Amino acid sequence: MRLEKKHPGIYNSVLQTKESHIILWFLRYDMQTAGKLLAKPHFDAGTMAFAIAESKPGLRMGSGPKDLKLVTHHDKQALFFLAGNISQLIDPGDLKPGWHDVVQVGKKSPNN
């Protein structure tokens, strides 16, 4: 709840609203050749996103196209980031949506 301390009311505005605005998507990117772009750079639609698990590395995040950095997944941890429409629900203040893409890291595996 560290986010709530810095941005009072964000929890209620996002999770305790009577209006339906949260949609859960499950995505999986198929293996390709090394260096191949699996998802073009973008902001996710909606208000927030969770990267719950990662079977293969490749998620890159930054504030824009010029500073994308590879994200390292850690077991038993999820990555939370704001999506492109967050400002339609709350005033995010100094928080920014997560600009990201997905690239193939390493060689294509014949078993995947």
Q: What is the pLDDT of residues 42-79, one digit of tens each?
A: 988 877 787 776 666 788 999 888 899 998 888 888 88
Residue 65 lies inside a defined structural domain of this protein: yes
Is the residue at 28 inside a domain? yes
Residue 92: Cβ-neighbour burial (10 angstroms; 0-12, 13-18, 19+):
middle
Q: How confident is the model at residue 55, as a pLDDT?
A: 62
Residue 68 lies in a domain: yes
Residue 39 lies in a domain: yes
Percentage of the chain lying above the pLDDT 90 cut: 6
In the chain, the N- to C-terminal Cα span, in Å, equals 38
Asked whether residue 110 is domain-assigned, the answer is no
Distance CA 79, CA 47 (A): 14
Which residue range is the domain that position 69 belongs to?
2-103
Number of separate domains in the chain: 1
Q: Look at residue 10 and tell me if it is in a domain.
A: yes
Is 111 inside any structural domain?
no
The answer to whether residue 109 sits within a structural domain is no
What's at 75, amino acid-wise?
D
